[in-house]
């Protein structure tokens, strides 16, 4: 299958080709790939894509996946209205 058609990060609309380009440009960690591509920074915070990127990074570098996976994973986000934060919807 064409690597341009394989979606890795649906939140940030990144394909396997985008991830492979980041790796070929010198990214060797998940953090570097996140900073270069924004992969893992969407609403799901990488729950779907980061394991896929780790597998690709493992394949490309020959390192074990357990060496690659630990990185900062934050809880999922969801959009909030400013009024909700300010408590305006409660009266
Ligand atoms: S799929 Fe990559 S951040 Fe959601």
- Considering its fold, how many domains does the chain have in total? 1
Residue 44 lies in a domain: yes
Cβ(9) – ligand 1 distance below 6 Å: yes
- CATH number of residue 39's parent domain: 1.10.10.1100
Can you say whether the dihedral through the CA atoms of 31, 45, 13, 68 is positive or negative? positive
82 vs 38, which has greater pLDDT? 38
Residue 2 lies in a domain: no
Which residues have a Cβ under 8 Å from the Cβ of 39 and sit 6 or more positions away? 8, 9, 12, 14, 18, 19, 22, 33, 46, 49, 50, 53
Between the CA of 83 and the centroid of ligand 1 the distance, in Å, is 27
Residue 22 lies in a domain: yes
Residue 1 lies in a domain: no
Q: Identify the domain containing residue 72 by its residue range.
A: 7-90
**Cα gap 84→78, rounded to integer Å:** 12
Return the pLDDT at 73: 62
pTM: 0.75
| Candidate of 22, 30, 35, 49 to mutate for ligand 1, largest count of ligand atoms within 8 Å of Cβ | 49
Cβ(34) – ligand 1 distance below 6 Å: no
pLDDT tens track for 18-27: 999 999 999 9
pLDDT tens track for 33-63: 999 999 999 998 898 999 999 999 999 999 9
């Amino acid at each position: 299958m064409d690597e341009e058609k394989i979606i890795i990060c649906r939140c940030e609309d990144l394909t396997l080709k985008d991830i492979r380009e980041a790796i070929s440009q010198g990214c060797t960690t998940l953090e570097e790939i996140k900073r270069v591509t924004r992969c893992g920074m969407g609403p799901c915070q990488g729950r779907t894509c980061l394991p896929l990127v780790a597998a690709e990074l493992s394949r490309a570098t020959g390192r074990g996946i357990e060496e690659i996976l630990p990185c900062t994973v934050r809880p999922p986000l969801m959009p909030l209205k400013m009024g909700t934060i300010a408590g305006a919807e409660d009266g």
